[in-house]
Amino acid sequence: MPERPVVIGVDSSTQSTKAAVVDAESGTLLALGRAPHTVTGENGARETDPEIWWHALAQAVADGLQQAAVPPAAVTGIAIAGQQHGLVALGADGRPLRPALLWNDTRSAPQATALTAALGGPDAWLARTGSVPVASMTAAKWQWLREHEPATADRTTAVRLPHDFLTERLTGTAVTDPGDASGTCWYDTARAGYDPELLALLGLDPALLPEVAPTAATRAGGLTRGAAETLGLPPGIAVAAGTGDNMAAAVGLGLGGATTGAGLLDHPVVSLGTSGTVFAATRTRPASPGLSGFAAADGGYLPLGCTLNCTLAVDRIAALLDLDREDAAPGDGLVLLPYLDGERTPDLPHATGLLTGLRHSTTPHALLGAAYEGAVFTVLRALDELLAACGLDPADPAVRDRPLRLIGGGARGRAWTETVRRLSGRPLVVPAATELVALGAAALAAAASTDTDPVALTHAWGTGEGETLPPVARDEETWNRIEGVLDRAARTLLS
């Protein structure tokens, strides 16, 4: 009896690589291989040698295949979903010239500000890219490299995003997709292509960039013999163009595709990970200076708000207090904005953590709870901005009563889940699937090998389905208290 076809979906994130070995017909997760990354830097710097990603990919794939106990010959496709925005500068030999500048490297904040002004302000950028440059965006990082390491910029013969770098290693072909390309701030989301004027502003030769495939599920090529030997997979299997991690998570949830109508599709998504993100699929191109107006993996739109400080920041507060992450109580009048790495939404790259409201009666548990509240408030306020950008009134009961899909590592934590419920007042849907980025990438791999719609596949697989938690009364007092402190702090930082 022939082996059932298997695909591999890869989540190459900031901290690690995960390789999901998935039954291509049922969507069953057979195994999840893992390998860690190393992130270095201080004082705003965050870097990783891209070769670490390649070695981690090989290790994670081998681990996954061993766990799944399936023969490599059963694998029919592979796709990479990677952390967005990272700048990979390659030399003439195709190797990295320096460690990649990661999305959460905030050293490029001055370059982001200068680029915004150089084009005529935020509205000019929104009209072209759907996003305003912030420190996270690749364009700001390229400009930083030009200014601080001009010799490296001059030697650069290819510029890649993290997932592009890995896909090119798999196929030998330089290719990206609309979703991840839209996070560069040199891709025009309205015209679906690189913007020549922006590239000229950045001094970036378009020949250095990969071709943009029509969708993330487009077959970028076959697995080369060299890559096949490294990964222990059959040569020639389908390699999808792949995409960014947020776009892959949307595919894993069944967002987008042919079913998308005008406005939002289904309920919006809150993702609690190293960063906190909110996003939703739409066919309407949004434009808001506080959001990233990304393209989706299928060429639609995936407006997204991103906060730098989420689970990692709250875990740091828990460690400082010598508490387990679940040992939290409501903030009891405290406000703790855990902006330990600056912040992206709101755009306060030089911010630090802020605590106010301490009393003799303050407990460590309330202090930890205040950190949760500060992080969740920041994410949910970004959600309100996203809804408004899509033409919806966040205060409208019909909108406010719409369920949120809660994903990411934080979705598995009681303290995170209960804080989101309390500050949002919304019902939550917590999908049973825990590796939505990798599962979305697996759907892209399956689609590339069979020429099917990846979102239709994830609907059939049921990866977006899960438990529904009913709403609780919204904690308006805590919301208003945090909002007042944040607004005052922002005015001080921006003055």
pLDDT digits (tens, 9 = 90+) for 133-186: 999 999 999 999 999 999 999 999 999 999 999 999 999 999 999 999 999 999
Q: pLDDT tens-digit profile of 458-481?
A: 999 999 899 999 999 999 999 999
Dist CA 86 CA 60 (whole Å) = 21
Which residue, among 44, 46, 134, 28, has the nearest Cα to 83 in the 3D structure?
A: 46
**Tokens found for residue 306:** 């991103």
Residue 395 is predicted with a pLDDT of 87
Q: pLDDT tens-digit profile of 239-251?
A: 999 999 999 999 9
Residue 282 in this model has a pLDDT that exceeds 90:
no
Q: Fold for 6-246, please state it.
A: Nucleotidyltransferase; domain 5 (3.30.420)
265 pLDDT tier (thresholds 50, 70, 90): very low
Residue 1 in this model has a pLDDT that exceeds 70:
no
> Is-above-0.75 flag for pTM?
yes
Q: pLDDT tens-digit profile of 326-370?
A: 999 999 999 999 999 888 888 888 899 999 999 999 999 999 999
Q: Are 425 and 470 in contact (CB under 8 A)?
A: no
Q: Are 332 and 371 in contact (CB under 8 A)?
A: no
Indicate which residue of 245, 266, 298, 341 is catalytic.
Answer: 245
Residue 307 in this model has a pLDDT that exceeds 60:
yes
Q: How large a percentage of the chain has pLDDT more than 90?
A: 82
**Residue 123 annotated among the catalytic residues of the structure:** no
Q: pLDDT tens-digit profile of 5-43?
A: 999 999 999 999 999 999 999 999 999 999 999 999 998
Residue 208 in this model has a pLDDT that exceeds 50:
yes
What are the domain boundaries of the chain? 6-246
